[in-house]
A = this chain, B = another copy of it.
């Protein structure tokens, strides 16, 4: 009997950006994410931890099917201001506030959650709402 298929997590989380170079600089220099591929025209790939990737696509560059050696990637695209939440430790909450302040990134909001977690909200250069979240917000985080 075949196994019942199941999802094993989210691998690819995506944002669409107007200026790929500007976005790459922000995610690399301000958020400290490690670049691990992509090109300078269509997309950039970051490793935010574990088995996950954050893909930044240049808006409008993926509106038609993209041929790759092993097949075709169907079209996709998006307009924001989208929202993504990143995990941080409790201990790094205040250091993150200082890091963002020193980078000239305005804090747009902070939230305390009933489970004990805290969230810090700010914008990336495209206006996407980013959130840094300490554990204690969802049943599994």
Say whether A88 faces chain B, with CB atoms less than 8 Å apart: yes
A7 touches B69 (CB 8 A): no
A83-B92 contact in complex given A49-B8, A50-B9, A68-B111, C-beta closer than 8 Å: no
Most buried by B among A6, A55, A87, A141: A6
Q: What CA separation (Å) do A51 and B115 show in the bound complex?
A: 15
B129 touches A9 (CB 8 A): no
Chain B residue contacts of A131, Cβ below 8 A: 12
B129 touches A76 (CB 8 A): yes
Q: Which residue of B lies closest to A111 (CB)?
A: B71
Q: What CA separation (Å) do A141 and B92 show in the bound complex?
A: 26
Most buried by B among A37, A76, A92, A135: A76
Min CB–CB distance A109 → chain B (angstroms): 5
Min CB–CB distance A86 → chain B (angstroms): 5
9 interchain pairs (CB within 8 A)? A7-B31, A7-B33, A8-B49, A10-B85, A36-B138, A51-B135, A51-B141, A68-B113, A78-B80
